[in-house]
Chain A
Amino acid sequence: MTTKNKEPVLLVIQLSGGNDFMNTVIPFTSGVYFDNRPLVGIPENKMIPFTENLAFHPCAKSLKNLYDKGKVAIIQGIGYENSSRSHFRAMDIWHTCEPNHVATEGWLAKVIREIDPNSSNPVTAVNFGRGLPRALAAPGVIATSVGDLDNYGLMSEIEKEEEKIEDLEMFKRMYTPALGSGIVMDYLGETGRTVLTGADILAEAPINYSSTIEYSNNPIAKSLRDVARVHFAGLGTRIFYTNHAGYDHHAQEVPNHARLLTELTDAISDFMDDLDEHNASEEITILVFTEFGRRVKDNGSGTDHGSGGGAFIIGENVKGGLYSEYPSLNPSDWLYGEDLQHTIDFRGIYGTILQQWMGIDPHDIIGGDFEQISPFNKTLIR
């Protein structure tokens, strides 16, 4: 368990609320953009052009730097047929790969099942945030969810260390039900004991970490630093997951989106530097996704739910550049007459990562065969 991790690792960053892709990667030569976005449109002299037609949001400077180094693959127009405008339903579809009915198994939970079929390591997958995202949940699959790595685990509210240790010991005994207590008690007991084991393993992570990188003080920076600390501890974690919330910019989009993009892209950049400092750059690939893009036309304060969003694959092994096509800006092509139409199915991007990066057959996980892209220079798959 403590050997240095050389298996490919995936970090998924979920942008919750529906990131405005059109304002993240801006089609600045199109009049349609400026005509429809009198309020939230980014002035041309502020944005950061990186191709003849596209520019980054002015607050995505760090992303631009990584892009220039060839470490960012931009997946333009990612989505699926009949894109849902409901946050919950849309997120659910991204989490379960099942657009037509409500499914119970998360796509990454199925990946955990492939990697660790006997649930021998409770930290094969680690989420940073409260609760477990549906992507990591499935019956019989164990994933660990960490709110605060420095104060993680059961009884974390108890201040006196010795009281906490004593209580945890009792907890373990109380959560070992007698034989024949029934399946619900057995399940509850096993869940409780797994949380304890996971907490014991994770307790090692902060102890040995040292780094010259100074992450900012905001939730996403904190989460990515936690990912780094756990990864460097070599605990066998193959999937990291975290959430960056607040992208539902119906109102006050201009200042708020700017702040979130700054936090996000700076945090990713610091994280990449941290990996570099620890000679671990080649070990992790990052997927950044969101549940949908936003409406082309702004509403006078922000933008409403739309489709045709964007995703990013970031990492040392990534072949940077533009993938798929930017959604058509011709209004006659728009979904429901007002949303960008997707140009590539998200399940193909999951498939790409699973097959080409993780070395796992994606067919049963994503529910079929979907068009893949080739965003990797090399992989760790042996």
Chain B
Amino acid sequence: MVTNETKTDSSLVAHLLRRAGFGSDYSQIQEFTKKKYEEIVEDFLNPEIFPEVEDKLISRHYPSLGANKDNQATWNGRWFYRMINTKRPLQEKMALFWHHVLATGWTKSEHTPTMVNHIEMLRKNGLKNFRTILIELSKDPAMIYWLDNNENHSESINENYGREILELFSMGIGNYTEDDIKNAARSFTGWTFTQPLPLYPYGHYESKFIFKENDHDYGEKKFLEKTGPFNGEEIIDIISQQEATARFICRHLYNFFVEDEPQVPAWSITPPKNQFAIDQMVKSWLENDADIKSVMRTLLNSDWFKKSKMNRVKCPAEFIAATLKISGEYRSPDPRLDQLESTSIAMGQKLMDPPSVEGWHTGKEWIDGGTLTERVNYAIGILNDPNKPGVKFIINEIKNDKESHNPKKFVNRMLELVGFIEISENTKSLLIKLAEEDGKLSFRTKKDQEISRNRIMRMLRLIISSMEFQFS
């Protein structure tokens, strides 16, 4: 509802919260509209101003969720808890973004503590300088094991990390030579981790980065037209200054925050959907010395971002978090948190465990008959319950706002209440026709109230099972 206090359009706020966060409920959106759009963006870009989610509470309330440090489901449940409750939405979203791009998985190491630390590293550094992010990544035990840098020795190099840091984490294929890969690998020799104790029978312990001086190749290296006795940090300096790196990472940002691009392997042969947008972000990258916060400021404040509503398919984590935002659940520690992992797996995404170093395929590839069924049935299973706090709220809002009893207004108001969802003309006309068939809502008698409540529930079910609800 438009009031005098409003400074920013609700639907734009809702869009920002879906993209730069994990959605929001109606009241949160209204709260944010009191600020100017650019101020909200600044708040998001400076997460440290706001308190952290106290996810430690979870293990205090429910020791079973904290006791087993090996249990991924517990930790992924905690991550969902953060997505839903964070006061720092963009920080959490950047962690997920980098997890997509710098894809590191549990599967190879089966070592949960290092994966938990890995995600925390992404969370802490996600809006910093890209150089910092790559350095922290290269020193991350989960990544070192994932891409075999612990097997990368001065006397016998293992090229895996040297290759992927260029191909997948920075410049993209076609911008460097096989010799560059070898020399990058040489520069990272000796970057390894303290050997964790064997899993059986001791259980898992954290592992820490160490630099083994006597296993580092100090020789001269030629890398991207430069020559010197480079070490890993110097290689990362050179990588971060490349325009190819700016273009590749900015396209990733565009794909994740603005609009679904083709799958990454096609990028070397398919131009970006919006060259202008990429150019603008690259300019910001180069002017600000690879500062991700600056690039994100450019992105979030741009017209092309503001106009990009509802055109990316939600990934399963976004879908689940958005659904739970509407339901109003999980606002305090909840023993069901560790079940969210299996929900997400059934939709095709296991957090902390992407299918390969190439990350998840995104966009329409999230959807097949099985995953669509899971999505629709999950949303209905959660929201088809008039006693859930968020659903109760929606029913009361409609009931108390006489204008919304008019069928057409009823549909529009429902779309606002589930988070200012934009839907196609086709879907909208179907919903309005349905509402008109049943006439004006009434809450006069007990019987009327029951009928109207059922109509609200039905409209809610249809909106959350629509094609449009699959999008962000």
**CB of A156 closer than 8 Å to a CB of B:** yes
A-chain residues with CB within 8 Å of residue B367 when the two chains form the complex: 187-188, 191
- How far apart sit A185 and B355, CA to CA, in the bound complex (Å)? 26
* A188 B467 Cβ-Cβ under 8 A: yes
User: Which stretch of B49-57, B237-245, B370-378 is in the interface?
Assistant: B370-378
* B313 A184 Cβ-Cβ under 8 A: yes
Contact with A along B212-229 (1 / 0, CB 8 A): 000000000000000000
**CB of B200 closer than 8 Å to a CB of A:** yes
- How far apart sit A251 and B200, CA to CA, in the bound complex (Å)? 8
**CB of A32 closer than 8 Å to a CB of B:** no
* B369 A102 Cβ-Cβ under 8 A: no
* B372 A191 Cβ-Cβ under 8 A: yes
- How far apart sit A142 and B462, CA to CA, in the bound complex (Å)? 25
* A170 B430 Cβ-Cβ under 8 A: yes
Min Cβ gap B410→A in Å is 15
**CB of A290 closer than 8 Å to a CB of B:** no
Q: CB within 8 Å of B: which of A146-196?
A: 147, 153-158, 163, 166-167, 170-171, 173-178, 181, 183-185, 187-189, 191-192, 194-195
* A194 B424 Cβ-Cβ under 8 A: no
- How far apart sit A49 and B361, CA to CA, in the bound complex (Å)? 48
Residue picked from B345, B353, B356, most chain A C-beta under 10 Å: B356
Task: Tell me which of A89, A102, A131, A185 contacts B424 (CB under 8 A).
Answer: A185
**CB of A88 closer than 8 Å to a CB of B:** yes
- How far apart sit A144 and B356, CA to CA, in the bound complex (Å)? 25
* B369 A174 Cβ-Cβ under 8 A: no
- How far apart sit A341 and B381, CA to CA, in the bound complex (Å)? 47
A-chain residues with CB within 8 Å of residue B347 when the two chains form the complex: 131
B-chain residues with CB within 8 Å of residue A188 when the two chains form the complex: 364, 367, 372, 467, 470
- Using A177-B467, A301-B200 as known contacts, say yes or no to A92 and B380 having CB atoms under 8 A apart: no
* B458 A130 Cβ-Cβ under 8 A: no
**CB of B346 closer than 8 Å to a CB of A:** yes
Task: Tell me which of B313, B348, B358, B425 contacts A131 (CB under 8 A).
Answer: B348
- How far apart sit A147 and B378, CA to CA, in the bound complex (Å)? 13
**CB of B12 closer than 8 Å to a CB of A:** no
A-chain residues with CB within 8 Å of residue B373 when the two chains form the complex: 145, 147, 153-154, 195
What is the chain A residue whose CB lies nearest that of B427? A174
- How far apart sit A195 and B371, CA to CA, in the bound complex (Å)? 10
Task: Tell me which of B364, B376, B458, B465 contacts A187 (CB under 8 A).
Answer: B364
* A145 B467 Cβ-Cβ under 8 A: no
Residue picked from B358, B377, B425, most chain A C-beta under 10 Å: B377
Min Cβ gap B314→A in Å is 12
What is the chain A residue whose CB lies nearest that of B311? A184
**CB of B260 closer than 8 Å to a CB of A:** yes
* B355 A88 Cβ-Cβ under 8 A: yes
* B353 A131 Cβ-Cβ under 8 A: no
- How far apart sit A86 and B345, CA to CA, in the bound complex (Å)? 18
- How far apart sit A86 and B354, CA to CA, in the bound complex (Å)? 13
What is the chain A residue whose CB lies nearest that of B382? A157
B-chain residues with CB within 8 Å of residue A285 when the two chains form the complex: none
* B465 A88 Cβ-Cβ under 8 A: no
* B364 A184 Cβ-Cβ under 8 A: yes
B-chain residues with CB within 8 Å of residue A86 when the two chains form the complex: 107-108
What is the chain A residue whose CB lies nearest that of B361? A104
**CB of B201 closer than 8 Å to a CB of A:** yes
**CB of B451 closer than 8 Å to a CB of A:** no
* A154 B356 Cβ-Cβ under 8 A: no
**CB of B69 closer than 8 Å to a CB of A:** no
Residues of chain B whose beta carbon lies under 8 Å from any beta carbon of chain A:
105, 107-108, 199-201, 260, 313, 342, 345-348, 353, 355-356, 358, 361, 363-364, 367-374, 376-377, 380-381, 384, 424-427, 430, 434, 458, 461-462, 465-467, 470
Residues of chain A whose beta carbon lies under 8 Å from any beta carbon of chain B:
86-89, 92, 102, 104, 122, 127, 130-132, 137, 142-145, 147, 153-158, 163, 166-167, 170-171, 173-178, 181, 183-185, 187-189, 191-192, 194-195, 198, 250-251, 299-302, 304
Q: List 17 A-B contacts (CB under 8 A).
A: A88-B355, A130-B342, A131-B347, A132-B369, A137-B368, A145-B373, A156-B377, A174-B426, A174-B427, A174-B430, A184-B364, A188-B372, A191-B367, A191-B369, A191-B372, A195-B372, A300-B200
Not counting A178-B425, A184-B313, a sample of 19 additional A-B residue pairs whose C-beta atoms are within 8 angstroms of each other reads: A88-B356, A102-B358, A130-B370, A131-B346, A137-B368, A144-B369, A147-B373, A170-B430, A174-B427, A174-B430, A175-B467, A177-B467, A181-B424, A181-B426, A185-B467, A187-B364, A188-B367, A195-B372, A198-B369
